[in-house]
Chains A and B, each alone.
Chain A
Amino acid sequence: MPSLSRETVRAGTRGIVATLLVAALIAIGSRNLAHFDAALVGYTFATLFAVFGITYRYSMWLQRPPTALYWRRGWQAFFSRDRLLTNLAAWPKRVIGVFALNNFIFRRSRPRWAAHWLIMWGCLLAAAITFPLVFGWIHFQTPADDFERYRVYVFGFPTFSFRIESMVGGLIFHGLVWASFLVIAGVMIAMRRRMRDRGAEAVQQFGEDFLPLILLFAVSITGLMLTASYTWMKGYAYDFLAIVHAACVIFTLLWLPFGKFFHIFQRPAQLGVSFYKDAGRAGEQAVCRNCEQPFASMVHVEDLIRVERELGYSYEMQGVGEDAVNHYQYICPRCRRLSMAWAQGRLWQAGRGREVTDRPGIVDVAAIMEAASAPATTTEHA
């Protein structure tokens, strides 16, 4: 039997710990399952599986050499003593801009932004309602003295109350309906793009790109069917619809760690990277050893050298002399592109049996102009 790698064991352990933690929170939050709805047990187990899967994959992802390094660097950059205040000030703006408003997606494409924004907020709203209800963290009780009201209990503690027939009541009880509307609208926009955009058509895959949209649509539409069934159709086919809806939700939960949905958990790394880049800009800059122009932060270049070595790459260069370039990473991207032309030119010089020069094809135009203008000057003076 093949032995498990250290990374796998570590990720598995973290997955189990996270799952047990959520299970314990369910027990505590529902007051020893007193407020736990047994009909929702399927959802609960699917969620626990999703927690294990997400933690496992996240942990495996964090153990990749580049991810591990930049994860560490992101936190170091954020908490660095001389930048902490600046970072704390910048943090809310970035969270709102990147996560609440998705401003970077807005700049990529308006329809893409509209689709993502609607789906994201629809899903967040649905998750904020569903998970606490399923786990028994939130439940509603009618106060003994007023049958017209509901009081909301969070983790068993009483909070605010509202009139059942009020607008607030309607909004709260139909929260999942509003979430469905958002998700369905977003899915429609996204699906339209996937069906009409030739660029998307070339690279999209069923599992990666269509399945998540289909799942979101299925969850939303079956959820709306349940509402329609009990509101206007006297519960017609309710049991069947409840099973179909549960199956859709459970499949989506099980799919969370594997497909596109996993980006939800990866994406916050964007914030760490932004603080790392800020710190890099404020620090020493790496200067290209060929053109002598700054092109990146020194810390980034050195981190990259480290990552490349860990990955088994060997871009070390044997130079001569004190200033010799000892790693290709110290050459800027533009000089790398130019060196392809130089290298090809040198090969052709060698192929034609000519002297191989440093810069084949490079002509000292100034010298030629000088040489060309010299006789003319002489003639003029004569």
Chain B
Amino acid sequence: MSVPGHLNFYIDPARCIGCQACVQACTECDTHKGISMIHLETVDRAHSTQTIPVVCMHCDSPTCAEVCPADAIKRTPDGVVQSARKPRCIACNNCVLACPFGVPKMKVEFELMMKCDMCYDRSSIGLKPMCASVCPSQALFFGTREEIEAARPQSAPIDRFQFGNQTITTKVKMMGPRSVAGARPEHLDVTAALDPNPPGRSISLGVLNGSR
């Protein structure tokens, strides 16, 4: 069993309404029963209603797997990075700290790293991952490229992310504008968004000014 090649996972944090349906649905997944693997972050509770659902991006070259001293994290041939293998994981936390997207969770009581595996019991037979199956705003979307392009003509999927000097390509794609200054954006520069002067930063009226 493997995830069919024509089906992809697309995420669009800008569409997230913070309803927590994904968090609840995630617990229903058979590969990590009862434990939600999704991170639903409130970006800045004091100043914004924005939330972001974070699922595993399933990197082509997963840093979490490379830094694992126990060699416990494996990527299946269809590009899905699986949770740590239970017999091997030694709960060192390397993967949690190394993942550029902040995805893995350390279950201290189990001495085990667990992470989003794209609901492999479902996606490997062509079904939507639980989160995507319940997301009312389709911030999490699992389907074909044609479907997403038809539904969001102004958006385009991005699967390259820049972290400092490091470029990471992923199986899961993030939706971005189809065109920036007349050209298609090739990557998302994640670290450029980090504020160089964190405390006492100036805040702009982004949403209410109608930037989205």
Residues of A within 8 A of B (CB): 61, 64, 66-67, 69-71, 98, 104, 107-108, 197-199, 201-203, 260, 263, 266-267, 269-270, 273, 276-277, 289-292, 296, 300-301, 304, 307-308, 311, 313-321, 323-325, 327-329, 331-355, 357-368
Contact = CB atoms under 8 A, between A and B. Distances in A.
B29 A361 contact: no
A64 B69 contact: yes
Interface stretch (B130-138, B145-153, B178-186): B178-186
Contact of B48 (A199, A331, A363): A363
A339 B192 CA distance: 9
Given A328-B164, A337-B39, 15 more contacts: A67-B70, A70-B69, A202-B124, A290-B194, A307-B67, A307-B94, A314-B164, A314-B165, A317-B194, A328-B191, A334-B102, A337-B102, A347-B177, A360-B211, A361-B48
A253 B91 CA distance: 28
A368 B203 CA distance: 12
Contact of B198 (A266, A290, A365): A290
B199 A292 contact: yes
A350 B212 CA distance: 11
A339 B39 CA distance: 13
B164 A327 contact: yes
A215 B212 CA distance: 60
A113 B169 CA distance: 38
B52 A292 contact: no
Interface of B: 1, 12-14, 29-33, 39, 41, 43-44, 46-48, 50, 52, 54, 63, 66-71, 82, 86-88, 90-94, 96-103, 109-112, 117, 120-121, 124, 163-166, 174-181, 185, 188-199, 201-208, 211-212
B211 A361 contact: yes
B164 A352 contact: no
B190 A340 contact: yes
A359 B109 contact: no
Contact of A316 (B90, B165, B196): B165
A108 B112 contact: yes
A253 B29 CA distance: 37
A350 B178 CA distance: 11
Contacts of B179: 351
14 contacts: A66-B94, A70-B92, A273-B90, A292-B199, A318-B164, A333-B96, A342-B43, A345-B212, A352-B211, A359-B203, A361-B207, A362-B44, A364-B47, A365-B48
A336 B190 CA distance: 8
Given A359-B44, A362-B43, A365-B47, A104 B111 contact: yes
A8 B87 CA distance: 25
A350 B177 contact: yes
Given A347-B180, A364-B203, A339 B190 contact: yes
